[in-house]
Amino acid sequence: MRLKLTILHNNGKKIRGRDVHLRQGDADGACGPYCILMALIAAGIETRDRIISLSRSHGNSNFEKLMGKFDNKSGRFFADGTMRTDLVEFLSHYRKIQTASIHGGSSKVRTFLVDHIKQNHPVILGLPSHWVLATGISETHDNQLVSIYALDPGREPLNKAWNLEIEGGGTGSPKPFLVLTDGSKVAFDDAFALWPV
């Protein structure tokens, strides 16, 4: 079966995982902030070089304000992780970013994700106790979702636009989606999309 593949692009070129992926520390709950940084790169709002070079500077640019917010709440990341409302608040000072988010059942979150990926909007996808950055989807020619591709900041990057593949069909179970990368099952709790205006 031949599939349609939709991968995020930046300035007309499909993104590559190694150009966007940032690795989360092994002992922190900061997957949400890492996903924000990767989404900013994928959307062309920030560059990887800028994020890596300015990650510890403090100033008045949007990025430096964002890093200051991360620093102010960093103690909480180790214990509690990041909520969807934190993601929204972290980006509140970016005036040239549009955002949308959803909380609720896996099928609503899946529909939100597909709609935004097709519009080239990076989507931060909330799994139970973890965030990943959705970077693409594959569908049959009659638009049946086959797979969701994501960058997981807790996994090693691969030489493609994702390092995590989740089957897109789902079942009626509490964890309806199979992670093809490792065989685990997950639910979708939240999603947060951002894009430049």
Q: Which of 8, 12, 67, 18 is nearest to 43 (CA)?
A: 8
Helices (H), the chain: 17-20, 31-42, 48-54, 62-80, 84-90, 106-118
Distance CA 38, CA 177 (A): 23
**How confident is the prediction along the chain (197 residues), in pLDDT tens digits per residue?**
566 778 787 777 777 776 787 776 644 567 888 898 899 999 998 888 887 776 555 556 776 676 666 666 555 454 567 778 888 888 887 888 999 999 988 889 999 999 999 999 999 999 988 899 999 999 998 889 999 999 999 888 888 889 999 999 887 788 889 899 899 999 999 999 999 98
Distances (CA, A) of 65 to 23, 40, 104: 21, 14, 30
Which amino acid, 83?
M
- The answer to whether the beta carbons of residues 64 and 58 sit under 8 Å apart is yes
Which residue type sits at 95?
R
Residue 196 in contact with residue 185, Cβ under 8 Å?
no
Alpha-carbon distance of 38 to 66, in angstroms, equals: 13
Identify residue 48 by its one-letter amino acid code: R
Domain count, the chain: 1
Domain coverage including residue 171: 4-196
What CATH number does residue 102 fall under? 3.90.70
Say which residues have a Cβ less than 8 Å from residue 177's Cβ, sequence separation at least 6: 106, 148, 166, 167, 168, 170, 185, 186, 187, 188
